[in-house]
Amino acid sequence: MIRDRPDRFGGFACLPLPDVDGALTELAYAFDDLRLDGVVLFSNARGIYLGDSRFTPLFEELQRRAAVAFVHPNPSPDLSAHALGLPDNLIDFTADTTRAIGQLLYSNTFARTPDVKYVFSHAGGTVPFLAGRFAIIDKMDVIPGAEARATAAETFRHLYWDTAASWGDPVLRMLRDVVGIDRVLFGTDYPYMPVLAVSCREDIEASPELAENERTAILGATATKLIPRLTSLQSNTQTNAT
């Protein structure tokens, strides 16, 4: 698909964590041989969360390459999180994204990788709603290393967040307040919910909550900033069509 329509499609490589050496090998192959546009990470890999020090060599390489890293949740390794018999995508996926963001923030991984462009699915799980609690923790100053990192509020405005299963007007208002609409990307969870993948775009296109420039940003303009080659290729395509 990328070869046929390089102006429309990008590709990310899934890294085989918790195997750090394997992930570094795959990362190099993805960028240097396949020329892909980023990598996919999961909130936890066999119970090891992304901010864990065991993953430091991988994040150092992501920083060196100023990579795009898309983060999607995995089910929590904690069996008690599944004891209610509810589907993981109802509560646990959103909570696990929040756990990963919390550890990435307070392990100072975000602070050490300022050039990595992180994209979190599902509007960052519960993070927008819990932003006030993050602020309280920052004020309490109970987690070591605060002098080496920005506050949660500042950090959130440097990350990216997608709209998969999270595109309603209340969520968009919260994202505008907490992170800024210019950091929001269109996401669908396709192919898991193909009908919603269509309807969520229609809802965003019709949303009275968004100004036209915000709608344009969510539906593609921000993505082309993350993957600049798309902008140049689209410009060439439009010029040739003209």
Query: pLDDT tens across 79-127, in order?
Result: 888 899 999 989 999 999 999 999 999 999 999 999 999 999 999 999 9
What is the CATH code of the structural domain delimited by 12-241? 3.20.20.140
What is the pLDDT averaged over residues 8-22? 95
Residues in the chain: 242
The answer, yes or no, to whether residue 59 has pLDDT greater than 60, is yes
Helix ranges (DSSP H) in the chain: 20-28, 56-64, 92-106, 109-112, 127-140, 152-156, 169-178, 194-206, 212-216, 222-226, 228-241
What is the pLDDT averaged over residues 212-233? 90
Using pLDDT thresholds of 50, 70 and 90, give the confidence band for residue 234.
low
Using pLDDT thresholds of 50, 70 and 90, give the confidence band for residue 30.
very high
Buried b (16+ CB within 10 A) or exposed e, 209-239: ebeeebbebbbeebbbebbeebeebeeeeee
How far is it, in rounded angstroms, from Cα 242 to Cα 230? 18
The answer, yes or no, to whether residue 237 has pLDDT greater than 60, is no
Q: What pLDDT does 151 receive?
A: 98
Which pTM value belongs to this model? 0.93
Mean pLDDT lowest for which of 89-93, 151-155, 180-184, 211-215? Answer: 89-93
Written as one string, the DSSP assignment of 85-140 is ---TTTTHHHHHHHHHHHHHHHTTHHHH-TT-EEEESGGGTTHHHHHHHHHHHHHH
Q: What pLDDT does 236 receive?
A: 60
Q: What pLDDT does 240 receive?
A: 55
Q: What pLDDT does 230 receive?
A: 87
Mean pLDDT of the chain: 93
The answer, yes or no, to whether residue 78 has pLDDT greater than 80, is yes
The answer, yes or no, to whether residue 16 has pLDDT greater than 70, is yes
The answer, yes or no, to whether residue 173 has pLDDT greater than 60, is yes
